[in-house]
Amino acid sequence: MIDVRNLTVRYGDTTVLHGVSLAVAEGESFALVGESGSGKSTILKALVGQVDDWQGQMTLAGHALQPGRRADLARQVQMVFQDPYGSLHPRRTVDDTLAEPLAIHGIKGRDARVLAMLDAVGLPRRFRFRLPHQLSGGQRQRVAIARALMLEPRVLLLDEPTSALDVSVQAEILNLLKGLRAEKGLTFLLVTHDLPVVSFLCDRLAVLRAGRVEEAAAVATLRAAGLRSAYGRELLERSGLV
């Protein structure tokens, strides 16, 4: 479903990614783990065309991507951002936000779809005409997830979807994501620095450090604290999983 080969990204003179390769199968949930600055978010940005200047090969849902050209893959891939406070338009109601992708693609039956999606992400229907500032962080993140799912994509890119939320709310959102994935057969590519999240939500993971993949492993290895690379063990120790 996602195939990245030898991806190199430079911001000016600094090389952020050094020939990163990874492959995610359909229906799989894959995690990119690393500290901030390790380049994990850059991979997502390159995949959705937010970063133009990259080298290598990337295939997404069967479409080869070209640098500098935004592929029209809106109905295949969508993204959930880290900060639920910055990812919703401050002047648009929940309804506006959810109906917008349908309007862009000329999809009919907007009212029914919006209501069905509110139910699917566990938001009460009475929130439909609220503005973002009338919602809590967890509720906003539910709206962001709902927005990403409006076009029924097959791949969902998750950029630290819970790190800006309260611990209790994090669990709710993770459960929601897990449920949605099972229900809709989604492929996840998750970026995080939180190993327990990986262990809960993912099948496989890759450890990134300074723009290189240190190690790729199945989540069972992570649960057994069996990461081989020195950096992987360091991460394990820091998150208290050893």
Partner 1 sequence: MSAHEMNLRDWLTSDDPETRMQARLGQGFRLARALARNPLAMVGLVVIVALLLIAAFAPWLAPFSPTEGVLANRLQPPSATHWMGTDELGRDILSRVIHGTRITLMIVVLVAVIAAPLGLIMGAVAGYFGGWVDRLLMGFTDIFLSLPRLILALAFVAALGPGIENAVIAIAITAWPVYARIARAEVLTFRNAEFIAAVQMQGASSWRIIGLHVIPLCLSSTIVRVTLDMAGIILTAAGLGFLGLGAQPPLPEWGAMISRGRSFILDQWWVATMPGFAIVIVSLGFCLFGDGLRDVLDPKQRSKG
Given a contact cutoff of 8 angstroms between Cβ atoms, the answer to whether 147 and 99 are in contact is no
Q: Rounded to whole angstroms, what are the CA distances from 31 to 38, 198, 211, 219, 222?
A: 14, 6, 15, 9, 11
Q: Are 101 and 74 in contact (CB under 8 A)?
A: yes
By the rule CB under 8 A, 41 interacts with partner 1: no
Looking up tokens 């496989």 gives 204
> 56, 55, 35: which is closest to 209 by C-alpha?
35
Q: Is 95 a binder of partner 1 (CB under 8 A)?
A: yes
209 and 34 in contact (C-beta within 8 Å)? yes
User: 153 vs 232, which CB is nearer to partner 1?
Assistant: 153
Instruction: Map the footprint of partner 1 across residues 111-140, applying CB under 8 A.
Output: 126-127, 129-131, 134
Q: How far is the CB of 156 from partner 1 (least distance, A)?
A: 12
Q: Does 81 bind partner 1 (CB under 8 A)?
A: yes
User: Residue 208 to residues 82, 125, 200: CA-CA distances in angstroms?
Assistant: 18, 40, 19
Residue 173 binds partner 1 (CB under 8 A): no
Region from 25-33, 73-81, 205-213, 221-229 binding partner 1, contact rule CB under 8 A: 73-81
Q: Which residue type is seen at 53?
A: D
The CA angle 59-64-67, to the nearest 5 degrees, is 100
Nearer to partner 1, 61 or 210 (CB): 61
15 alpha-carbon distance from chain centroid: 23
Rg (CA), the chain: 18
165 binds partner 1, rule: CB under 8 A: no
Binds partner 1 by CB under 8 A, chosen from 5, 63, 70, 238: 70
19-27, 95-103, 186-194, 230-238 -> range binding partner 1 (CB under 8 A): 95-103
List of E strands, the chain: 2-11, 14-24, 29-33, 54-60, 63-64, 77-80, 155-159, 187-192, 204-209, 212-218
Q: Does 78 bind partner 1 (CB under 8 A)?
A: yes
107 in contact with partner 1 (CB under 8 A): no
State which of residues 74, 107, 210, 236 lies at the interface with partner 1 (CB under 8 A).
Answer: 74
Q: Which of 11, 26, 37, 86 binds partner 1 (CB under 8 A)?
A: 86
Q: Which of 33, 144, 173, 198 binds partner 1 (CB under 8 A)?
A: 144
Q: Shortest Cβ distance from residue 32 to partner 1 (Å)?
A: 18
Interface positions with partner 1 (CB under 8 A): 48, 50, 70, 72, 74-75, 77-79, 81-83, 86-93, 95, 100-101, 104-105, 126-127, 129-131, 134, 144, 147-148, 151
